[in-house]
Structure 1
Amino acid sequence: MYRLLLALGLLLSLSARAEEGMWTYDAFPSEAVKRAYGFAPTQAWLNQVRLGSVRLAGGCSASFVSPQGLVMTNHHCIRGCVEDLSSPRKDLLATGFVAPEPKDELRCPKVEANQLVEMTDITARMNAATQGLSGAAFNTGLKAEMAKVEAACATGPEVRCDVVTLFNGGKYHLYKYRRFQDVRLAFAPEFPMASFGGDPDNFNFPRYGYDVAFLRVWENGQPAQSPHYLPWAKQSVKEGELVFVSGHPGGTERKSSVAELEFQRDVALPYTLLHLSELRGMLREFSSGSPERLRTTRARLRSVENGLKALRGRHQALADPSLLSLKRKEEAALRARVTANPKLKASTAGAWEEVAKALQVYRPMLPEYRMKEAGDGFQSELFTLARHLVRAAEELPKPNAERLREYTDAQLPTLRQQLLREAPIPEELEVATLAFSLNRLRETLGADEPFVQAVLGREAPAELARALVTGSKLRDVKVRQALLEGGKAAVEASEDPMVVLARKVDAAARAARKRYEDTVEAVLKRSNERIAQAHLAVYGTTGYPDATFTLRLSYGAVKGWEENGRAVAPLTTFAGAWARHTGKEPFRLPDSWLAAQGKVPQETPLDMATTNDIIGGNSGSPVVNRDGHVVGLIFDSNLHSLGARYAYVPQTHRAVAVHGAGLLAALEHVYAAQRLVEELRAAQPR
């Protein structure tokens, strides 16, 4: 990670550069793009790209690429779907999948797609609802008003509405989405090609991955019509050209206080890194036990490895003194401006101190909250289903505004999909992950802690995990549906061991949640809102808000960088991929790619690096040119960008994408996916 630290060392001498920014569509700096690149996106251009963009509810981005509902995203974004559709006899992760006809496309049981159709500023309404409130009352009032706004907006299951917090509470917007819950797999390459290079190449460049997948959204038993889509570019993009990335960056903390960054560095990240490291070790050992264990575990293991590497990068960034030094200077400058304004001084009195105090309260509370409520102590899909059933029975009879956020009316379509989806739950893996987490529960909270005693009793974690998993009937969708529809009476009468456990631990878990929400979350939200409003008063709204897994647009160029005195070129080729093949994982090309030598010109670009400002959640984002036409597909970033959650360094931060020319060439010549190729070409402008 030393390269990341060297990059961050540049921060003190850098001012914001043109490429920095994950911009909301209602405040995109078109004039800045024009000054830098001679092109200003019009409102019509912005509308078309926005409506062509898609959010996958599991945490990724995507885009419509044809008028027949065809959606492009990354393979790693839908690995879970491919795994759900696989079996010991038909391992689609190993073989890949191409649907010959639309009727052959396979429904992904856990995937939901959202298209942002409307954005409304509701700041005044939210501020009015919380005026004069503080602490737990502020948090309760805020969430109640969010539930009211979302319920009024979500007029049917095909509509999703989310109140979005921007500028740390300085603004609130209502985002209205068109919701698609019938999402089907049309194409996926082999897992070894989608993740070519494995963990060694992850967050690196040059890259030679084909991290691509195509889905299709369906409505009423037919492919959905998507009049707003992003057509494929007829000309491939070259080095130096302007490109845009439209996607859903998951989260940044560039506007966070120094106290919050120090808490991440000293408490939250070390806790999570330890947890993921131990989980990775367990999954590696488990997956080595048999071919079937490997089949059911490799996707989850890859995700854990990716998260571990990303979080290590974040921790390294925060450990670099130059980053915190810069943040302290920025915070001191803001506070000086605030102090000089009597009105702002009064409105922010004590705000920074309250943030720091709340985080001190959270330090000893974090392990208990993570274990009891956030899921670290019960890593089991069956337990998650049981908890949802138990809580739905308790929450749904309440008035909408009084429920936990995940059980409000606006969230019910998503909840029902989670509970009633047809998807396999591998028994051995369930036992292993639950046993692992029960061990972590005991180690973290202590064997004599009453909650641990109530969970384990006289049982060993491994024995209890096996009894719970093998005894549960919740794999059966009909059983879950009966409990959901039967309500509280059915849930309380259930003798399913997972439901019994979920009932047993729910009071303590809710108590841990309430302590966190009342003493930490409420203080952070209210104090950060006050600070954010002061920041907007001082600096205006010309900047971009921190990422919140909502749609953003960034701009940049296809460009390499300097690495220890040598130039890193921004494009890789098919020839480079064939040369990188060793015949052994993770550098083993599938037979389909080896057989394609001679069919695809060696100089065809495969992957590319750009200066676009992205972060996790942008996976699957389309890369488009100034015409709004697809020229690539984001799937990663470089090592230097692992600190992008906190700052952007234009010299070295790079997004990594599959090049549009290589993406299409492989579809046609490696996978013989002629139906998709013809559909993409037919959608090109005449």
Structure 2
Amino acid sequence: MDRGLLALALFISLPAAADEGMWTYDAFPSEAVKKAYGFTPTQEWLDKVRLGSVRLAGGCSASFVSPDGLVMTNHHCIRECIVDLSSPKEDLLARGFLAKTSAEERRCPKVEANQLEKMTDVTARMNAATKGLSGAAFNTALKKEMAAAESECATSADVRCDVVTLFNGGKYHLYQYRRFQDVRLVFAPEFSMAAFGGDPDNFNFPRFGYDAAFLRVWQGDAPAKSPHYLPWAKQGAKEGDLVFVSGHPGGTERKATVAELEFQRDVNLPYTLLGLSEVRGMLREFVNASPERYRTTRSRLRGVENGLKALRGRHQALADPALLARKRQEEAELRKRVDANPQAKAATQGAWEEIAQALDAYRRMLPEYRMKEQGEAYPGELFTLARDLVRLSDEQSKPNAERLREYTEAQLPTLRQQLLREAPIAAELEQALLGFGLNRLRETLGADDPFVHQVLGREAPADLARALVKGTKLGDVKVRKALLEGGKAAIDASKDPMIVFARKVDAEARAVRKRYEDTVEAVLKRNGERIAKAHLAVYGTSGYPDATFTLRLNAGQVKGWDENGRAVAPLTTFGGAYARHTGKDPFKLPDSWLKAQGRVPPETPLDMATTNDIIGGNSGSPVVDRDGRVVGLIFDGNLHSLGGRYAYVPETNRAVAVHGDGLLAALEHVYGATRVVKELRAASDVASSPAK
């Protein structure tokens, strides 16, 4: 039997592993951890780790590691910031960055940090608002009540509030965050070291990457105070040690119906993989044309390659008959229990069938929805800026509860920051992306499609893209600010070609969005909620909800695995990194590491594998020990972890992290980042003092 099939077959017959679960902080299974590891996280411990955790609004995790706003995350989480701060004469992505004083710390134009301060159960409120409703009426009422709750909570620009859907609508929580919009770059290694091993090593182990970076949040003219932080451990993690990961997993589908998983396997993932493959080919050709194109595009290309590998792994997991067999077995058992409970049976009558019918409708709608509304026809920053300005001018005239979700009052501070960010936009790349997207629009919907005629007229995609990018002034933040402050009158009067184009395509985009929300999203939400409540009724609330890019905690241990009869050790070393160096990309160590060879003992741990249950979005999560001290930094998972979107397999699923000892050693002895090292050690010493 194939190794993956064997692992899944074993999983079907085994109870849930102690390390499984992306747990919300208000329901962390402390007793289960005590039973498995002999350690019980107290409420004080949980609060400390929660408040020390940070979410980066762009899709990553992070943590406070000093009382002066120092934040640790991954290099790949803030690559866009590094590119924004670079120039043809100063390629910070290639050479790295170190601020030797606080005055040298540079603001990241697009980065926002959120700290979760409060969680409130608002299930009863949401249920009351949607009682007796279904279809579009249910969806409208739910979004209206969510917007109201978020706006009541977000009392200032320093507060962000989100209603979070848990258990597919079985529960709703209101999360209140403290927002930091002034986030500055402190340290970043070279791109070649952060991504050492490139695509061949991506989602693999052993790993020798140094995917780490440090930021700082500021308030006013000084670093922000962060009394809740995670100090550095005095002793690094060893094989077998209990470790915790606190971060923001982006999304899982472990509670999805079989019909939803089959839709992913047969429709959504193949469509997305084909599209990403075409984008990768276009970008590879684009970057080879000049050094400047390579400088401005390599980060995006790396992201596309990462996405392709991750989604291929998900597709392979769903194509494995054992996984779907287990899911069918679970669904059959749930339906059997529901049928035995008259109240649950009545509440879920037709739910599974309605979900299947909605997905069948989405199958036919997906290309049009993805092209017109999700922006695959017009990729790039300039169009996104234009669409946001156009839509915001329309939405602000409506009552808050009737707006599109991304334009409600609670979301405006983040949207305003995005519109007014002072970051360079690579016009040549924008033109290539837009031309590519418009060409895909014609290929996907057909040359005779009325919308294609409306968009292109008699123009070739490349020619239209060139005219729009060369003609627009939206690359200038002053122009965007004037349009933003001028409101609908300024937008309607604007002759900027990208604004005109965004207005031109918006009616069709809104129409397909409404069809999707009314006939697909509403049905999936309402019936998903019905099934989730029935699941809670017959199984109880002892499980964990699917990931939602909200803060979760997980316990695990430093541990390797068996790969087709080969034992994979959980720790790699500095010596191993030098042994892997070939002198050629992607296994080429930067000069800083070659010059530092010998300064760090070769047996010093560099990366480590753990059994922690993570997924995309956990990048940048701190790994902490029993004392709540940092012993590592999550940056990846192994290939087996990609199937973790749908199921956790304890035998082989591993998280991958930079080891805390190696992270500190390289800061000090490779990069000479003495200011950062002193701050980390001082924070650790203060946390150890009796007064603390």
Q: What does residue 429 of structure 2 align with?
A: 429
Per the TM alignment, residue 7 of structure 1 is displaced from its structure 2 partner at its CA by 3.6
Q: What does residue 606 of structure 1 align with?
A: 606
Per the TM alignment, residue 564 of structure 1 is displaced from its structure 2 partner at its CA by 1.2
1:491 aligns with 2:491: yes
Q: What does residue 103 of structure 2 align with?
A: 103
Per the TM alignment, residue 11 of structure 1 is displaced from its structure 2 partner at its CA by 3.0
1:294 aligns with 2:258: no
Q: What does residue 587 of structure 2 align with?
A: 587
Q: What does residue 533 of structure 1 align with?
A: 533
Q: Distance in 2 between matches of 1:159 and 1:312?
A: 38
Q: Distance in 1 between matches of 2:588 and 2:61?
A: 28
Q: Distance in 2 between matches of 1:188 and 1:507?
A: 43
Per the TM alignment, residue 4 of structure 1 is displaced from its structure 2 partner at its CA by 4.6
Kept in 2, the 8 Å contact 1:260–1:356? The answer is: yes
Map of 1:271-670 to 2, 5 A cutoff? 271-670=271-670
Per the TM alignment, residue 360 of structure 1 is displaced from its structure 2 partner at its CA by 0.5
Q: Distance in 2 between matches of 1:348 and 1:670?
A: 60
Q: Distance in 2 between matches of 1:83 and 1:599?
A: 30
Q: Which runs of 5+ in 1 are unaligned?
A: none
- Identical-residue share of aligned pairs (%): 79
Kept in 2, the 8 Å contact 1:197–1:586? The answer is: yes
Residues 485-518 of structure 1: per-residue CA shift (max 9 Å, x gap) = 1111110111111000000000000000000000
Residues 630-674 of structure 1: per-residue CA shift (max 9 Å, x gap) = 000000000011100000000000000000000000000000000
Q: Distance in 2 between matches of 1:59 and 1:7?
A: 30
SS of equivalent to 1:545: coil
SS of equivalent to 1:329: helix
Bigger drift between 219-228 and 6-15 goes to 6-15
1:35 aligns with 2:35: yes
Kept in 2, the 8 Å contact 1:4–1:642? The answer is: no
Q: Distance in 2 between matches of 1:162 and 1:354?
A: 28
Per the TM alignment, residue 3 of structure 1 is displaced from its structure 2 partner at its CA by 5.5
Q: Distance in 2 between matches of 1:530 and 1:344?
A: 9
Q: Distance in 2 between matches of 1:10 and 1:249?
A: 25
Q: Distance in 2 between matches of 1:147 and 1:655?
A: 36
Change over 3 Å in CA distance of 1:284–1:7 after alignment to 2? farther
Per the TM alignment, residue 65 of structure 1 is displaced from its structure 2 partner at its CA by 0.1
Q: Distance in 2 between matches of 1:8 and 1:476?
A: 53
Q: Which amino acid aligns with 1:199?
A: D
Q: Distance in 2 between matches of 1:306 and 1:15?
A: 32
Kept in 1, the 8 Å contact 2:605–2:661? The answer is: yes
Q: Distance in 2 between matches of 1:10 and 1:574?
A: 35
Kept in 2, the 8 Å contact 1:55–1:248? The answer is: yes
Q: What does residue 154 of structure 1 align with?
A: 154
Q: Which amino acid aligns with 1:102?
A: S
Q: Distance in 2 between matches of 1:26 and 1:398?
A: 36
Q: TM-score, normalised by structure 2?
A: 0.98
Kept in 2, the 8 Å contact 1:8–1:317? The answer is: no
Q: Distance in 1 between matches of 2:343 and 2:69?
A: 52
Q: Distance in 2 between matches of 1:445 and 1:481?
A: 35
Q: What does residue 46 of structure 1 align with?
A: 46
Q: Which amino acid aligns with 2:669?
A: H
Kept in 1, the 8 Å contact 2:60–2:248? The answer is: yes
SS of equivalent to 1:295: helix
Q: What does residue 177 of structure 1 align with?
A: 177
Q: Distance in 2 between matches of 1:237 and 1:341?
A: 48
Q: Which runs of 5+ in 2 are unaligned?
A: none
Per the TM alignment, residue 539 of structure 1 is displaced from its structure 2 partner at its CA by 0.7
1:93 aligns with 2:93: yes
Per the TM alignment, residue 397 of structure 1 is displaced from its structure 2 partner at its CA by 1.3
Q: Distance in 2 between matches of 1:436 and 1:198?
A: 26
Residues 102-148 of structure 1: per-residue CA shift (max 9 Å, x gap) = 11000000000000000000000000000011100000000000000
Q: Which amino acid aligns with 2:383?
A: F
Map of 1:140-151 to 2, 5 A cutoff? 140-151=140-151
SS of equivalent to 1:216: strand
Q: Which amino acid aligns with 1:383?
A: F
Q: Distance in 1 between matches of 2:17 and 2:599?
A: 42
Q: Distance in 1 between matches of 2:476 and 2:343?
A: 60
Q: Which amino acid aligns with 1:662?
A: G
Kept in 1, the 8 Å contact 2:400–2:408? The answer is: yes
Q: Which amino acid aligns with 1:251?
A: G
Q: What does residue 130 of structure 1 align with?
A: 130
Q: What does residue 26 of structure 2 align with?
A: 26
SS of equivalent to 1:579: helix
Kept in 2, the 8 Å contact 1:4–1:639? The answer is: no
Q: What does residue 226 of structure 1 align with?
A: 226
Q: Which amino acid aligns with 2:668?
A: E
Q: Which amino acid aligns with 1:361?
A: A
Per the TM alignment, residue 15 of structure 1 is displaced from its structure 2 partner at its CA by 2.4
Per the TM alignment, residue 10 of structure 1 is displaced from its structure 2 partner at its CA by 3.4
Q: What does residue 255 of structure 1 align with?
A: 255
Q: TM-score, normalised by structure 1?
A: 0.99
Kept in 1, the 8 Å contact 2:5–2:322? The answer is: no
Q: Distance in 2 between matches of 1:557 and 1:304?
A: 31
Residues 349-394 of structure 1: per-residue CA shift (max 9 Å, x gap) = 1111110010011001000000000011110210000000000000
Query: How many residues are matched?
Result: 685
> What do you get for the CA RMSD once the two structures are aligned?
0.7
Q: Distance in 2 between matches of 1:464 and 1:184?
A: 37
